[in-house]
Structure 1
Amino acid sequence: MNWLEVHIDTNHEGLDATEAFLSGLGIDGVVIDDETEFHTFLEENRQSWDYVDEDLLKKESGASRITFYLEENEAGFARLGEVRIALEEFRHTHSNCGTLLMTLESLKEEDWAYGWQKYYKPLAIGNRLLVIPQWEQDTVSPGDRVPLILDPGLAFGTGSHATTRLCLEALEQAVKPGDTVLDLGCGSGILSIAALKLGAASATAVDIDENCINVAYENAALNGVGRDRYTVLSGDVLGDEGLVSSLGGDYDIVTANIVADVILGLAPMVRRFLKPRGLFLCSGIIDDRATEVADGLRRCGWAILESHEEDGWFAFVCR
């Protein structure tokens, strides 16, 4: 299979807004290159150079880019068209975000695998977890941490994004031995698998993208989690009453690391999945919508027990 590697050029100030724009279109598995990282590298490695070409400095000035990947097929090109049309409107309303030039190139599956591995490294999260890429599991010792081994492919959820880290940190504090967990918008399965590794007895995961079923089950197997404890389903909980009924209730924890609009849509219905005094952990909320989402949750009867922020993204722990 071949992939389309899509780039959108922006600037440092426009990264968050452009990332949120793509997230609103359902594109979350992105790679960010930030101009400030280049200057940080120069400052931290002064001992290694005594001259930097002026043309290189000019080239890197203002050069920030967001990259994402689509399958090179009819569906991928259709999604590309949707992004292109939406980007035109976004460009008119976000003149401070740089050129917002979109370019693309094609790459083979083996090139994608290499490119992904280049950006995805072991990551300690919270006090207990260590997320380890599957291709590095034989070279990394977790020490006292709980290893969470992942090969996410194109599914969202590696722990590198602030929203996922916020959810994992909240799960670390919330999960008790024997808990049951429902993961809405599971992507790679990272949250529900982490919950099981942290002591949950069972977990159910759901994603609107049916490709996530195989990805999540494969990641579960990497962590020694079998289907006797882990169930992955595909469908839209906002529009499929049959799916909602099949999920049942009496979960101790429901997680949703999605986007603001979907969290607002879920807010009135999540309680049916929970035990009395169960917890709803939601993330994926950009800072300029945090107040709106918090107010929406409260209108639906949720008490926000904790609010956490990282890199301009918010997560709420609700009861």
Structure 2
Amino acid sequence: MPWLQLIIHTDRRHADAIDDALLEVGAVSVTLQDDADQPILEPALGETPLWDATRITGLFDADIDTAAVSLELLAQLPEPPTDLKWEQLEDKDWEREWMASFKPICCGERLWICPSWQAPPQADAVNLMLDPGLAFGTGTHPTTFLCLQWLDQQALEQKHLVDFGCGSGILGIAALLLGARQVIGVDIDPQALLATRDNATRNGLPTDAMPVYLPADAPTPQADIVLANILAGPLVELAEVLSAQVVAGGKLCLSGILATQAETVMAAYPAFAFDPVAQKEEWVRLTATKVR
């Protein structure tokens, strides 16, 4: 099905009004993007921040009257934008486009993350076959890659783990394929729990190898390793909960943290001796051993 998109360059002050007006005049979706290379890497809890320079794109059916829509849109806005640009959007199978961009990823000496629709490049490696669905975690993001790289280096045989913020299940499933005995997955998103179950089954794991829970329903096990690839703010808020789940001498692996936030996160875990910080781009991974 062909589409038209209306592109508007604006600023933070006018973005919400334009967003609402586009929906009022018939846009089937509205996308807001950074228009000046100003990344927002970790918004505060409950915040939906916008960029100083914002590009807004409204998506419309191709058979609309663009002139009429433009006039109606401008009439709704107290400060109408001066730059409206209509473009035809190429009709694509967007699911296939995404699938084509997801390639196998080598995460160490043993471990590969492979799209479930492609054959693994090394049949004798530890190959995690992944379809993330709507959940976070493919191995392409620096935080996930750093955690997978660390897991590849660990002796996981018969270990019990917790994967807090399990997303697609990628970290917990990797640990199981690398020899762990059981992983408990926890996530606030029910879609993540579905994705984790599906990916565990896809990798031939028994149903009891990685039980998954919403936080309110999760047990509080004593684990050899606790993994949490979320964000710095929640890692600080959850420090007491996560620390209590690690056995004496057990390990902690934290990510989703910007390099500038590392000291703050480490300070929230006084019972742990931290290893040197591992960094990829602006993101870091923190690993530590429980010493008291």
Q: TM-score, normalised by structure 2?
A: 0.72
Q: Cα gap change, 1:175/1:206 in structure 2, threshold over 3 Å: closer, same or farther?
A: farther
For 1:310, the equivalent position in structure 2 comes to 280
- Would the aligned equivalents of 2:30 and 2:56 in 1 still touch at CA under 8 Å? no
Q: 1:227 maps to which residue? A: 207
Aligned pair 1:214/2:194, yes or no?
A: yes
Aligned to 2:18: none
Gaps of 5+ in 1: 27-81, 92-98
Q: 1:283: which partner in 2?
A: 255
Shift of 1:5: 7.6
2:144 maps to which residue?
A: 164
CA distance in 1, matches of 2:187, 2:249: 25
Does residue 257 of the first structure (1) align with residue 229 of the second (2)?
A: yes
Residue 306 of structure 1 aligns with an amino acid whose one-letter code is P
- Partner residue of 1:189 out of 169, 173, 183: 169
Alpha-carbon deviation of 1:136?
0.9
Alpha-carbon separation, structure 2, partners of 1:5 and 1:100: 12
Q: What is aligned with 1:103?
A: 57
Secondary structure of 1:126's aligned partner: coil
Deviations 1:269-315 (A, max 9, x none): 21221221111100000122222222333xx3222123100011011
Counterpart for residue 42 of structure 2: 20
Q: Aligned runs of 1:10-89 on 2, under 5 Å?
A: 10-12=35-37, 14=38, 17-21=39-43, 83=48, 86-87=49-50
* Cα displacement (A) at 1:168: 0.7
SS in 2 for 1:216: helix
**Corresponding position of 2:33:** 8
Q: Which of the residues 153, 174, 180 maps onto 1:200?
A: 180
C-alpha contact 1:175 1:195 (8 A) present in aligned 2: no
Q: Which whole-Å CA distance do the structure 1 matches of 2:257 and 2:110 have between them?
A: 24
Task: Assess, with a 3 A threshold, how the Cα gap between structure 1 residues 248 and 295 changes in structure 2: closer, same or farther.
Answer: closer
Per the TM alignment, residue 252 of structure 1 is displaced from its structure 2 partner at its CA by 0.7
SS of the residue corresponding to residue 289 of structure 1 reads: helix
Select the structure of larger CA radius of gyration.
2
- Structure 2 counterpart of 1:229, which letter? A
- The CA RMSD over aligned residues, in Å, is 2.5
Of all paired residues, the percent bearing the same amino acid is 34
**Which residue in the other structure is 2:219 paired with?**
247
Looking at structure 1, the residues matched to 245 and 278 of structure 2 have their Cα atoms a distance apart, in angstroms, of: 23
5+ residue gaps, structure 2, are: 1-27, 61-88
**Residue 16 (structure 2) aligns with:** none
CA contact (8 A) 1:7 1:104 kept: no
1:225 CA drift (Å): 0.8
1:48: which partner in 2? none
Q: 2:245 pairs with 249, 273, 291, which one?
A: 273
- Structure 2 Cα separation of the partners of residues 226 and 195 of structure 1: 14
Q: CA 1:159/1:25 → structure 2, altered by over 3 Å: closer, same or farther?
A: farther
| Structure 1 position 143, deviation (Å) | 4.0
Residue 129 (structure 1) aligned with residue 111 (structure 2): yes
> Post-superposition shift, 1:316?
0.5
Distance in 2, matches of 1:177 and 1:269, equals 25
Q: Take 2:36 and 2:124, find their aligned partners in 1: how far apart are those partners?
A: 40
Using structure 1 for the length normalisation, give the TM-score: 0.66
| 8 Å Cα contact 2:262-2:284 kept in structure 1 | yes
